[in-house]
Amino acid sequence: MIDRGDLWIVIVALGLGSFALRFVFLGLVGDRPMPAWLMRHLRYTAVAVLPALVIPLVVWPSATDGETDPVRLAAATVTLAASYFLRNVIVAMLLGGLVLAGGGYWLG
């Protein structure tokens, strides 16, 4: 059982901290120009953070206690291929979901 005091400390502190992270540049830097090297790095934020966040979840899914699962691997591969070639986020997600559902049905 989670301690109620701990829970609320985490909710409030995490909320404040998350807002601070989101506000730090937007709110405090404002419209001062940003250095070129910083912008050059920031252009690659999304394509670096999202794969780094997602690939361990794909290779070692928490739902299988970290054991690599061919269905989830296939679903991830199909989603990536579809989103790259079709450039359509929603179609890619649907195809990935179909592989996940279909694979789970046939193999599960």
Partner 1 sequence: MTAQGVKSSYWTGVRDGAPFLLVIVPFAMLFGVLATEAGLNPAEALAFSVVVIAGAAQFTALQLLQDHAPILVVLASSLAVNLRMAMYSASLTPHLGHLPLWQRGVAAYFLVDQTYALAVIKYEKEPQLSRAEKFAYFVGTLTPICPFWYVFTVVGALVGATIPPEWGLDFAMPIAFIAMIGPALRTGAHMTAALVASVAALTFAFLPYNLGLLISAGLGMAAGAEVERRVGAA
Under rule CB under 8 A, which residues in 10-69 are in contact with partner 1?
10-15, 17-19, 21-27, 29-34, 37-63
- Reference 103, options 67, 69, 65, 64; nearest CA is 69
Q: What is the DSSP string of 20-40?
A: HHHHHHHHHTTTSPPPHHHHH
7 touches partner 1 (CB under 8 A): yes
User: What is the total count of residues that contact partner 1 (CB under 8 A)?
Assistant: 78
Cβ-based nearer residue to partner 1, 52 or 67: 52
Closest approach, Cβ 69 to partner 1, in A, equals: 9
